């Protein structure tokens, strides 16, 4: 059992409120919108349409459920599995947002890369303990961190281009050949993560794969360059097909397992 269990739970609540407040202020405050990543600051050739950032709302909702459910959940899962990692994730996430808004883009990129470490630790631990969990644990513990893991990966890619590539000046701007190549390679890498990483190695992690598919559709909507647009759209469609196939396979597998019980 982790040390200071009560402190972990209390700090989880406090940092969640801190993260929620920071993102709401960044996304909704009219005086701050021009500086917000959700309001279109530092648009690059891999940036998605603004609606994609709406996934934050779902993540915040599920994380809100987590900080409530943690008081009633499997304590080994919360205290030994998630431990203090959620606190470090939220603090680093808010720091990334502040650095982005103040135009310290290289520091923002480094910060979000560091953030991926505790997120991945939580994700890995939860995947190792994904057998025989209750529906509530899947919804309020596993799902938010699967979504968070995929979303932080997407933010990391966006931050790389914001830090090292020129901003996209207008919707008609054309990327250089080298930028176009790196954008396409990045999209391919994300699509591979969605299918191989989440659906197969992750044993049917639809949450993470859906986040990346959602992002790819957003890139296809936002970007006018033909190569980037069609690459993102085709990868999004392929990813969606893989998700549907995996869902059907899981339903069939559960049906086969339940047949002897029904018989």
Element (H, E) at 74: none
Domain assignment of residue 263, yes or no? no
Question: Could you count the other beta carbons within 10 Å of the beta carbon of residue 240?
Answer: 17
Domain assignment of residue 111, yes or no? yes
Q: How many domains does the chain have?
A: 1
DSSP helix/strand/coil, 240: helix
Domain assignment of residue 202, yes or no? yes
Contacts of 100 (CB under 8 A, 6+ apart): 37, 41, 42, 108, 159, 162
Domain that holds residue 67: 5-256
Q: Are 185 and 141 in contact (CB under 8 A)?
A: no
Domain assignment of residue 261, yes or no? no
Question: Could you count the other beta carbons within 10 Å of the beta carbon of residue 154?
Answer: 23
Per-residue pLDDT of the chain (263 residues; tens, 9 = 90+): 567 889 999 999 999 999 999 988 887 766 665 667 776 778 999 999 989 999 999 999 999 999 999 999 888 888 888 999 999 999 999 999 999 989 999 999 999 999 999 999 999 999 888 777 888 999 999 999 999 999 999 999 999 999 999 888 877 789 999 999 999 999 999 999 999 989 887 677 889 999 999 999 999 999 999 999 999 999 999 999 999 998 888 787 765 554 443 33
- Segment 136-159, tens digit of pLDDT: 999 999 999 999 999 999 999 999
| Cα dihedral value 200, 201, 204, 206, nearest 10 | -100
Domain assignment of residue 262, yes or no? no
Domain assignment of residue 76, yes or no? yes
Domain assignment of residue 206, yes or no? yes
- Segment 162-215, tens digit of pLDDT: 999 988 887 778 999 999 999 999 999 999 999 998 988 767 788 999 999 999
Domain assignment of residue 243, yes or no? yes
């Amino acid at each position: 059992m982790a040390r200071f269990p009560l402190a972990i739970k209390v700090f989880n609540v406090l940092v969640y409120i801190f993260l929620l407040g920071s993102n709401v202020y960044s996304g909704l405050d009219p005086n701050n919108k021009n500086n917000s990543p959700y309001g279109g600051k530092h648009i690059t050739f891999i940036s998605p349409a603004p609606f994609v950032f709406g996934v934050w709302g779902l993540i915040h909702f599920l994380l809100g459920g987590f900080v409530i459910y943690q008081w009633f959940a499997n304590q080994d899962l919360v205290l030994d599995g998630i431990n203090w990692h959620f606190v470090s994730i939220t603090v680093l996430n808010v720091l990334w947002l502040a650095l982005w808004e103040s135009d310290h883009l290289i520091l923002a990129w480094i910060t979000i890369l560091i953030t991926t470490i505790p997120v991945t630790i939580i994700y890995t631990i939860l995947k190792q303990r994904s057998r025989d969990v209750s529906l509530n644990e899947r919804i309020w513990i596993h799902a938010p961190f699967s979504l968070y893991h995929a979303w932080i990966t997407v933010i990391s890619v966006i931050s790389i281009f914001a830090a090292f590539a020129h901003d996209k000046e207008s919707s008609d701007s054309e990327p250089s050949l080298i930028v176009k190549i790196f954008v396409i390679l990045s999209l391919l890498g994300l699509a591979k993560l969605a299918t191989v990483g989440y659906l197969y190695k992750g044993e049917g992690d639809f949450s993470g794969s859906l986040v990346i598919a959602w992002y790819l559709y957003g890139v296809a909507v936002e970007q006018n360059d033909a190569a980037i647009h069609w690459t993102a759209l085709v990868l999004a469609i392929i990813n969606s097909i893989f998700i549907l196939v995996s869902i059907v396979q899981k339903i069939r597998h559960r049906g086969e397992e339940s047949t002897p019980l029904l018989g």
